[in-house]
Amino acid sequence: MVVVRGVQDNLFLQHRLMKTLSIIIGLTLLLTTSFRVTAQPLSSPREQLQQSLALLNDLEDAYGQSDLKLAEPLDQVADQYMALGLYVDAHRSLDRAMQIVRRNEGLYTRAQLPYLQKKIENLVNWGNWDSARTQLQHLFWLYRTKSRRVDQQLVDDLMLLSNTHLRGITEDLGDRQSYHLRRAMSSNWMALAVGEATWGKTDERITPLLYSLIKQYHLHAAAINWAGRTGYELRQAAPGADWVRQRSEMQSYYYYTGVRLLNQIESIYATAEPIDYEGLAMAKLYVADWQVLFSRDAEALESYQIAYQALELARVDAALIKDYFSQPSLLPEPRFYASLQAALSARQSDLQLAERDVLDDASNLLFFTEWDTAFPYVRRPSELSMGQLTNSNFALFSFSLVGVPDIQSFLNGLSTDPFSRVQDAELVDTLADPPDTKSNLMRRLSWLRFRPKLDGGLPQQAAATLRYELAADTP
């Protein structure tokens, strides 16, 4: 009798296991084949969602409402809701998945993080920034106080958090810009600390984290100069404080912090085995660019010569050097490139993705895409997806950059025009809806800084044409 009961129990367990596997396989096949080309017409996204919900109900019948096996299917269903713009339903699915994970694995388990990250993404896409900010604060607290492992995953998670705050600068309410700027930087600094603890301070994997911080200091500097209330709030000693630092004091702080971070990038390539002389030279070039961004042209002039000579000493092909510096470049560079070939390839790739048919001769054509009407002072950060240039609002400028015959002439005041700022600018064409005034467009152009055309490290006079993509108001 005991043997018979044991056989029956085994058969029951096998039946239940097979049923569960069939449900999971069915849900997986449904989600992974939704984009497969077949001879039969595909069901609509809403029909696929209904099928997923039916399979999810079967899992609930088999295991109950709180079994850990439900977490992943709930996450997949949330993806389908998000694709349909059903953000409330997606929020509920993700919230339920998180609660299941917490109940089964613990309140502060790392397993909940992917669900919390997606929950925040859904809130941001939904436009519910009030709730998103609360979740972002909680997520940062989890990373800071509950992380049991310091590794690559934590670095990536913190940079994702930083990038979400970058989105908040333009997508959240305008009076929250300084909050997101500060939080994005805090998350980036923490990612750097984790990276240094994981790999060491001279590991090349640290470089993107350092350069991301450098670009964030440029964002802060731009806000200090032009962003009114946001700039004022960034100068406060603490959020809401009455003590406000001078603009010049903050700019000096941003500048020297950026130089220190660039020096750390230099040390990474200087201590490599063998020494990466080209990477070291590129770091020196970025120091010169940083000096240009802070209107320190005399220092930049010397730094450009040092960087140029360092590239030659690194035995970089002379034709490649000449080609790369044959035209001005918009600053800051979106990424740090440790080789001149990588930098040139990235520039050529960007041109291919941009609207190369604007002019018949695009050899001197530069592109600038405003980030957003809420923060038009800089181009969209490379950490955020660019998409395609579909905006029809633009201004086309022609301008020149002055040259420097020699360093001594510049230092003696014989050449007084800044070589990094546009001269003799003309508005060639514009298409803006609503129309914008010429003076306003010229003012926007004046915000930009350029690495000059270089020959032997000296700035050369150059003419260029810039297509300035104007940000459109979100309807």
Establish how many alpha carbons lie within 13 A of residue 185's alpha carbon, considering only the half-sphere containing its beta carbon: 18
Boundaries of every domain in the chain: 44-145, 331-475
- CATH 1.25.40.10 is the classification of domain 44-145: yes
pLDDT at 223: 94
pLDDT at 377: 85
pLDDT at 418: 82
pLDDT at 37: 37
3 state SS for 429-470:
EEECCCCCCHHHHHHHHHCCEEECEEECCEEECEEEEEEEEC
Q: Report residue 272 as tokens.
A: 């490599």
Entry pTM: 0.87
3 state SS for 288-318:
HHHHHHCCCHHHHHHHHHHHHHHHHHCCCCH
Q: Report residue 264 as tokens.
A: 């750390």
Pairing of the two strands 365-372 and 375-379? antiparallel
- Taking only the tens of pLDDT, the chain with its 475 residues reads 444 344 344 544 454 545 455 445 545 544 444 434 344 455 799 999 999 899 999 988 899 899 999 999 999 999 999 999 999 999 999 999 999 999 999 988 899 999 999 999 999 999 999 999 999 999 999 999 998 889 999 999 999 999 999 999 999 998 999 999 999 999 999 999 999 999 999 999 999 999 999 999 999 999 999 878 999 999 998 888 889 999 999 999 999 999 999 999 999 999 999 999 999 999 999 999 999 999 999 999 999 999 999 999 999 999 999 999 999 999 999 999 999 999 999 988 877 766 554 554 555 689 898 998 888 889 888 777 654 445 578 899 999 998 887 677 666 665 667 888 899 999 999 887 677 788 889 998 998 999 999 999 999 999 999 999 888 764 4
pLDDT at 200: 96
Q: Report residue 281 as tokens.
A: 């030279």
pLDDT at 28: 52
